[in-house]
Amino acid sequence: MRDTESGNLTGRAQTGCGASGVGLVHAGYALIGAWAAILVLVTAATFLTTAVSFDYVEGVALGHQLMLAAGQPLYGTAIDQPPYSVPLYGPLFYWLNSLLLDPAAPSLSGARGLNLLAALYLGALAIYTARGRLAVGSFAAWLSVLLWLTLEPAAVFLLQNRPDTLALALGASGFVAATSQHRWRTTIAALLLTAAACTKQTAAVAPLVAAILVLLSAQRRQDALGLLVATAAVGLPVLLLLNTLTAGSYWTNAVLANLNGFSPGSALQAWVKVGSQPLFWLGLGLMLSNLRARGPRRDIAIYGLTSLLLHGLAVAKPGANSNYFLEYSWCTAMVLAAVIERLLRPAGRDSRLLTGVVLLASACSLAVATHSVERLRRAAAALPETAEWLSVWHSAVDGPVASMQPGMQLLHGHEPYILDPHIIARLTEQGRFDEGGLLDDLSSGRIAAVIAGDDLSARAGEFSNWSTAVRAAVAKHYEKVDSLGSLSVWLPR
């Protein structure tokens, strides 16, 4: 009788300890979720309340969107004369955003709002996929999406005036459709993948390749072939039509101009940014482990790893950034949701160990994200002063201004002399562009002012937005007269 009572007491004690442990795990995840939610709200509010461009690319894209809004040709503009326009992305991105613009009063609010809707859709798609295919509960799904939204690259690029968010929304939807059991899955996927490619040219590659690999691994060879044929049947005519309507300029601008060399420095910077977050590596480990599974877990792993492989190599080009990892990071949200769902009901020592790893990785990643958000808020607070300073100098000189901040020029009603100095410099270095006209305008002083950053120095190298010849011409014919932060104003000698 005593043995029985002792056993019952021991069992109740173990049950109580187990319940207590589960409660602590749930509390840990709840704290992580609250922390992530605060960071997401602060980040979104910072972007949506800042009227100035955060990023160089935002300004370049705004210039092209304004051209369309004003009824000007986009891909047919000569690139060898001001404003030296090279539209690098697909027409769908430019066209949709041009509909939200008033050329007389340029603003980024329309683009930010559109990307906010696309980001919300991506979060909803991840939750839908996690719950519907991976049998994940609401709490784990929401928590993983919040974590995804706090981390680079999502936190930095989702709300910028860039094509990445819309392109990912279309490409990821194409993958989900292609790997579903829907009657019209192949047609829907082909249309979505083509739309993704018309937004950002490379956006259809990873989801298409991953979907084909998933279908082949499931012995659905006919579906895989059908997807490839259908996507080609829809996409190639669209590409040929765009090229025909622009007299070959679409291919020159959107395809050839993007083939602009190899930059190990850019790749290293991007990998360091995403690699500083432990959840990036935890997601990679989970995906590699899930390759041994069957069904949806393996499907998502194939998609994420395919994207990481392709974009992890493609990021080694001048000017590339951590936005190349956006698709992979979206897949980590669903992979993480599946493991959190399993760990919410821990059983055994291995589960406790993995729970500790997930919580620690999440906390460390959120600590990195908190630091990034603070930097973002400080930058946002300084941007209006910078924009006003640039506008004052623009108004003070009589003539065109060559600036590395085209977005700030456009938002203050000034026409940029050069819209994209970075791509012009890359094309020049490869012998694919003659910048003789630009150098003549510099040597003669026809350019009234040059506004540049640290990248104007001779040691800037591959990270400079200006070619070697332009940097030498500015140093010879111009003198530095003012500066604010990393920016400086150069006037003719």
The DSSP-derived string for 449-460 is: EEEE-GGGSGGG
Average pLDDT over residues 360-372: 96
Which one-letter amino acid corresponds to residue 143? L
If one compares 258 and 96, the residue with the highest pLDDT of the two is 96
Average pLDDT over residues 159-170: 97
- Report whether pLDDT(142) > 90: yes
- Report whether pLDDT(19) > 80: no
Q: Are 359 and 32 in contact (CB under 8 A)?
A: yes
Long-range contacts for 289-296 (Cβ within 8 Å, ≥24 apart)? 290/335, 295/133, 296/129, 296/133, 296/134
Average pLDDT over residues 336-352: 81
Confidence class for position 151, pLDDT limits 50, 70, 90: very high
Average pLDDT over residues 117-139: 97
Residues 6+ apart with CB under 8 A from 275: 281
How many percent of the chain have pLDDT more than 90?
76
Give the model's pLDDT for residue 459.
59
If one compares 9 and 125, the residue with the highest pLDDT of the two is 125
Angle 278-290/264-275 helices, nearest 10 degrees?
90
Q: Work out the angle at residue 405's Cα, subtended by the Cα atoms of residues 403 and 407, and round it to the nearest 5 degrees.
A: 125
- Least confident stretch, 17-26, 101-110, 312-321: 17-26
Token digits of residue 440: 């003549």
Distance CA 487, CA 490 (A): 10
Read off φ and ψ for residue 101, nearest 5 degrees: -110, 145
What residues are paired with 402 via a beta bridge?
450
Distance CA 212, CA 226 (A): 10
Give the model's pLDDT for residue 10.
36
How many percent of the chain have pLDDT more than 70?
93
Confidence class for position 186, pLDDT limits 50, 70, 90: very high
Give the model's pLDDT for residue 8.
42
Q: Are 470 and 438 in contact (CB under 8 A)?
A: yes
| Per-residue buried b or exposed e for 114-152, using 16+ beta carbons within 10 Å of the residue's own CB | bbbebbebbbebbbebbbebbebeebbbbbbbbbbbbbb
Q: Are 322 and 270 in contact (CB under 8 A)?
A: yes
207: buried, middle or exposed (CB in 10 Å: 19+, 13-18, 0-12)?
Answer: buried
Give the model's pLDDT for residue 12.
41
Read off φ and ψ for residue 320, nearest 5 degrees: -65, 155
Which one-letter amino acid corresponds to residue 419? L
Q: What is the 3-state secondary structure (H, E, C) of 313-365?
A: HHCCCCCCCHHHHHHHHHHHHHHHHHHHHHHCCCCCHHHHHHHHHHHHHHHHH
Dihedral Cα 423, 426, 432, 434, nearest 10 deg: 80
Confidence class for position 349, pLDDT limits 50, 70, 90: low
Write the pLDDT tens digit of every residue in 26-47: 899 999 999 999 999 999 999 9
Distance CA 236, CA 233 (A): 6
Distance CA 212, CA 303 (A): 10
- Least confident stretch, 256-270, 317-331, 391-405: 256-270
Write the pLDDT tens digit of every residue in 435-488: 999 999 999 999 999 999 876 765 556 667 888 899 999 999 999 999 998 899
Q: Return the closest-CA partner of residue 122 out of 308, 273, 333.
A: 333
Write the pLDDT tens digit of every residue in 277-319: 999 999 999 999 999 998 999 999 999 999 999 999 999 988 8
Q: How far is CA 224 from CA 179, 276, 294, 298, in A?
A: 9, 37, 18, 17
Q: To the nearest 5 percent, what fractions of the chain are helix, strand and coil?
A: 70, 5, 25
- Report whether pLDDT(402) > 90: yes
Give the model's pLDDT for residue 5.
42
Q: Return the closest-CA partner of residue 129 out of 195, 180, 194.
A: 180
DSSP summary character for residue 255: I
Give the model's pLDDT for residue 264.
85
- Report whether pLDDT(1) > 60: no
Residue found by looking up tokens 């006209």 in the block: 437
What is the average pLDDT score of the chain? 90
Give the model's pLDDT for residue 131.
96
- Indicate the helix (H) or strand (E) that contains 491: strand 487-492
